[in-house]
Structure 1
């Protein structure tokens, strides 16, 4: 079968043309210092800040575990991770040198993946790949429809609780990056999930391009080796493990020449009559 080219392609010097040499240098342990550390417990969520120019590591501490990940601009939570556009600009399963993009009207890289111990997993015999943007968080609403029962520790609920101390609500929780999750589409074009291939000590690292508020849910489905719905469903509690979070400050020298990405330069007229507003300048005035 002929390989169809991607719709969105990088041109040299564009924001999609990632400087791989620069981001590779950021993985050197000698140029970083850990400044924060926490653990996301099983079937729960946590939120934390990552300053621009820092590295975030998510790791499977004790064994395979899927996590549902959200990001916001720390100072302006209206700018948040846009999973569907990231899927178009990068791919449906992300890895090293892919970028996580923000929503309109901002549209800029929020973070860049710089290291991934599961990068070599590739595509398995059933078409499964890791770090998924195809699906989204499990939630108590769908669970009620499928089972007739209420359960308060789905990823959506975990994220809602995690961001509440930061002044955010359920309406701020959005489509996720499913870290360490193995998924794909079957022959009927239906979404499937497989057992997480991560092992103790695997990790995904991201470089914060802007000041971030991050939140992660340790999925109540654990490593997804157990059916969550349907005739073979059972409680996957024994497959659940915590996820580790670490934040690293980089030496100034290694960041020389880097700067935070600018907002998309479209002026924001949308063809409407009236006083013209340079929305790019207005975004910069309001949010820096």
Structure 2
């Protein structure tokens, strides 16, 4: 894509203005620190209680009780997944991708937390293991497990190329939630929200600032594991782009299933842990 030439000449102090040092918007020194050592110690004696296989180009819903663990596994080949999370008892409280990104950065790994929407704004899950933590950021600025992409959806697909493609992650998640709630798709759709792109390798181009994707480094045996801070309802879509090496809304890309495993801690393994309360702001908004 050709860059649009600027309409205005730079001022004499342009270099000085550009040289101003950045300031972190949300310093996180005051955030409660997750007790990763406790979570990992409890995980050692946890037992597997169930598993859910998510077929290619589809989505499945799953429940995770507070204090339990869920693991998203690569089982057959490189595949990315789009994750939604809600409070099991109140779908209005859901994963807030934008605030999670603002607090932890564009890509997540161990000790980063999934934060919920306003007015709740609390950690609802914590990442405890990530077999791709070795990847870091590559020479293109790419990394894995992003909270910058919004999920592939049929509306953008229709806008850019036309047609009615029904296996975008947005539609996959909508179908799965509608089936779980036993309601029409139009009633489930408003609950679908921006995602954690599990295993997806993404970034922004340095010249145009555009969102890019590249082949995921995930391989069978890799996984991303979470600790549920509250009772969770989750939905995971296996992206129709497979490893997203070429396109993300496709009937021709090679796709694979993903496996979700749930683990229950032993009694008293988490005796020093408690669920995080909802945000303490009084919600008066100065009125």
After TM superposition, the score normalised by the length of structure 2 is 0.87
Cα offsets for 1:58-82 (capped at 9, x unmatched): 0011011010000000000000000
Residue 134 of structure 2 aligns to a residue in which SS?
helix
Partner of 1:248: 263
Instruction: Give the deviation of 1:228 after TM superposition.
Output: 4.8
Q: Residue 120 of structure 1 corresponds to which residue in structure 2?
A: 134
1:200 aligns with 2:232: no
Q: 1:151: how far off?
A: 0.9
Q: Distance in 1 between matches of 2:282 and 2:261?
A: 38
Find out whether 1:212 has 2:232 as its counterpart.
Answer: yes
Match of 1:173 in 2: 192
Alpha-carbon distance in structure 2 between the residues aligned to 1:68 and 1:144: 20
Stretches of structure 1 that go unaligned for 5 or more consecutive residues are 273-288
1:9 paired with 2:23, answer no
What secondary structure sits across from 2:144 in the alignment?
strand
Per-residue deviation, 1:3: 8.3
Are the aligned partners of 1:57 and 1:203 in contact in 2 as well (CA < 8 Å)?
yes
Q: Per the alignment, do residues 124 and 2 of structure 1 end up closer, same or farther by CA in structure 2, a change over 3 Å counting? A: farther
Shift, 1:5, TM fit: 5.6
Judge conservation of contact 1:226–1:236 (CA < 8 Å) in 2. Answer: no
Classify 1:121/1:3 alpha carbon distance in 2 versus 1 (closer, same or farther; 3 Å): farther
* 1:71 match: 85
User: 1:235, CA displacement in angstroms?
Assistant: 4.6
Q: Distance in 2 between matches of 1:258 and 1:220?
A: 38
**Alignment partners' CA distance in 2, 1:54 and 1:121:** 27
Show structure 2 runs of 5+ residues with no match.
Answer: 1-18, 182-186
Over aligned residue pairs, what C-alpha RMSD do you find? 1.8
CA distance in 2, matches of 1:227, 1:79: 31
Q: 1:5 to 1:49 in 2, by over 3 A?
A: same
- Deviating above 4 A after TM superposition, structure 1's stretches of 4 or more consecutive aligned residues are 1-5
Conserved 8 A contact 2:240-2:248: no
**Matches of 1:33 and 1:228 in 2, distance apart?**
35
Q: Deviations over 1:148-199 (max 9, x none)?
A: 1111111000000111133260000000000000000002111000111100
Aligned residue runs from structure 1 range 1-288, under 5 A:
4=22, 6-11=24-29, 14-15=31-32, 17-28=33-44, 31-167=45-181, 169-187=188-206, 188-228=208-248, 235-237=251-253, 239-272=254-287
Q: Is the 8 A contact 1:228 1:235 kept in 2?
A: no
Separation in 2, partners of 1:110, 1:67:
19
Distance 1:59 1:5 in 2: 37
Count of aligned positions: 263
Secondary structure (helix, strand or coil) at the match of 1:169 reads helix
Alpha carbons 1:71, 1:81 under 8 Å: kept = yes
Task: Give me the TM-score of the superposition, normalised by structure 1.
Answer: 0.87
Q: Distance in 2 between matches of 1:175 and 1:135?
A: 7
**Following TM superposition, by how much is the alpha carbon of 1:18 offset from its aligned partner in structure 2, in angstroms?**
2.5
Cα distance in 1, alignment partners of residues 52 and 173 from structure 2: 16
After TM superposition, give the deviation of residue 271 of structure 1 in Å.
1.4
Instruction: Please give the secondary structure, in 1, of the residue aligned with 2:171.
Output: helix
Partners of 1:57 and 1:181 in 2: CA distance: 16
